[in-house]
């Protein structure tokens, strides 16, 4: 019979480091759980708080293993919903070099690489020298105990492997120098981004009393083009959750989420860390799943939430597929696309190839490029929606290529002309508490699609 131990372990995602997992221990016998977690490479970062931070981003999997072990010992384990979602999701590495490996085999390879990393971190494996072989980092080192073997290491992070072994450090160094003399450097290689992130997550926490934040003013109702961006990731998650015909997967390396309609002819790319003026969203349409792109639309990360909501609402509408392929731009389609602006009294002007519609206050507009619209197979921007001091110094932009459906442009124009949203003024400054944020947002969870699983 499993004994009842007076210990409670609460597992959650890390507040600031994607994929890392925290464990908060309570109870008179919490030390029993602490010993078990430390043995499994969890690091104590504060009183009764541990962190699991790995270089292979498999923390949710190993946290699940730890939870099963603790429960078997009679310890109560609580797993937060967002961590449970991360445990249940399916994903794989993008461009994984050993494509023949199954998901479980990939995890085994990653775990062996993690053991090498931990052995170096704990001082069990002493690295004598490293080099770059033209493709990746290689190194030579010696296990101080128990084997005393010297090893040749190939690769970085989750791909590092023991490629060869030697009976002595001298033999290993001679072989290493013979191959890598030109690029050989003493000691271990500089930390990779993954190693640095894991080290930061394992850093001891300092808990300081935080000043209460100043009272936030009530949000103001403003025209849609002046509204706050809101949480773009939450908008995409809500869209996917409410439309089962869409599936998504997320790459780890470039922090991008892809959402694909079941027809495979309409796709959304969401870049989570895009530059302020870069494309944080790209919507693209294809005539068939394997044809060239027919049209595309991009939006910056500062695009107001009401504008993105109008875009996503159009993509979800039943008649969106009638115009998914798009058609050449004509005077009739330009007039239809901008009719909401005309009805709202926006000023219309023509400047050579440019047709402009600007609101009365001059801080929002739409520009149409007649030249770009009539270039066969053009990738030039035909439509630009913007807001800010000027189109060249904009707060946000949405751009669209030729063949973008006029019905979609009508929806966006109508949102600019008549839509509203909210804007929340931000406090000038605020002191933050240096600690794990229990309520910080987790890495957006992703559900694998039927034809492609999440890729990192």
- Note the pLDDT tens digit of each residue in 116-138: 999 999 889 999 999 999 899 99
Given a cut of 90, whether residue 146 has pLDDT beyond it is: no
pLDDT band of residue 145 (cuts 50, 70, 90) is confident
Reference 323, options 397, 409, 413, 236; nearest CA is 409
Q: What contacts 192, CB < 8 A, 6 or more positions away? A: 55, 156, 157
Given a cut of 70, whether residue 443 has pLDDT beyond it is: no
**Spatial separation of the C-alpha atoms in residues 265 and 453, rounded to whole Å:** 18
Given a cut of 70, whether residue 300 has pLDDT beyond it is: yes
pLDDT band of residue 2 (cuts 50, 70, 90) is low
The whole-number pLDDT of residue 427 equals 47
Given a cut of 90, whether residue 155 has pLDDT beyond it is: yes
| % of the chain at pLDDT higher than 70 | 86
Segments making up each domain of the chain, as ranges: 8-92, 103-201, 221-423
- Note the pLDDT tens digit of each residue in 307-323: 999 999 999 885 544 44
Given a cut of 70, whether residue 423 has pLDDT beyond it is: yes
Given a cut of 90, whether residue 91 has pLDDT beyond it is: no
The residue with greater pLDDT, 103 or 377, is: 103
- Note the pLDDT tens digit of each residue in 325-352: 556 788 888 999 999 999 999 999 998 8
């Amino acid at each position: 019979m499993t004994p009842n131990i007076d210990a409670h372990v609460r597992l959650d995602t890390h507040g600031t480091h994607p994929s890392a997992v925290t464990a908060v221990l309570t109870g008179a016998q919490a030390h029993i759980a602490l010993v078990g977690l430390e043995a499994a490479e969890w690091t104590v970062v504060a009183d009764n708080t541990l962190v699991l931070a790995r270089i292979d981003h498999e923390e949710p999997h190993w946290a699940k293993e730890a939870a099963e072990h603790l429960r078997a010992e009679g310890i109560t384990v609580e797993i937060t919903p967002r961590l449970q979602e991360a445990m249940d999701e399916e994903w794989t590495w993008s461009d994984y070099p050993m494509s023949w490996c199954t998901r479980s085999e990939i995890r085994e390879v990653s775990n062996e690489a993690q053991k090498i990393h931990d052995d170096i971190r704990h001082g069990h494996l002493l690295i004598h020298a490293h080099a770059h072989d033209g493709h990746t980092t290689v190194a030579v080192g010696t296990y101080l105990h128990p084997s005393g073997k010297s090893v040749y290491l190939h690769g970085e992070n989750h791909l590092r492997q023991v490629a060869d072994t030697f009976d002595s450090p001298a033999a290993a160094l001679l072989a290493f120098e013979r191959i890598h003399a030109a690029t050989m450097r003493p000691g271990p290689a500089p930390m990779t981004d993954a190693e640095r992130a894991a080290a930061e997550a394992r850093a001891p926490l300092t808990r300081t009393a935080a000043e209460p934040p100043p009272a936030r003013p009530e949000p103001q109702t403003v025209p849609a083009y002046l509204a706050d961006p809101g949480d773009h990731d939450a908008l995409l998650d809500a869209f996917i959750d409410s439309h089962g015909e869409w599936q998504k997967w997320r790459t780890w390396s470039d922090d991008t989420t892809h959402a694909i309609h079941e027809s495979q002819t309409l796709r959304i790319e969401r870049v989570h860390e895009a530059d302020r003026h870069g494309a944080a969203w790209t919507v693209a349409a294809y005539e068939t799943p394997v044809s060239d792109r027919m049209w595309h639309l991009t939006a910056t990360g500062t695009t107001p939430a009401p504008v993105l909501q109008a875009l996503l609402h159009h993509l979800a509408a039943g008649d969106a597929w009638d115009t998914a392929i798009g058609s050449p731009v004509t005077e009739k389609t330009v007039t239809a696309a901008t009719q909401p602006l005309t009805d709202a009294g926006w000023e219309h002007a023509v400047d050579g190839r440019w047709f402009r519609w600007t609101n009365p206050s001059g801080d929002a507009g739409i520009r149409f490029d007649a030249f770009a619209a009539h270039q066969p197979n053009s990738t030039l921007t035909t439509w630009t929606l913007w807001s800010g001091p000027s189109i060249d110094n904009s707060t946000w932009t949405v751009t669209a290529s030729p063949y973008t459906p006029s019905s979609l442009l009508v929806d966006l124009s109508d949102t600019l002309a008549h839509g509203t949203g909210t804007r929340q003024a931000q406090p000038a400054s605020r002191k933050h508490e240096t600690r794990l944020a229990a309520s910080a947002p987790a890495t957006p969870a992703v559900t694998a699609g039927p034809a492609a699983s999440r890729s990192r």
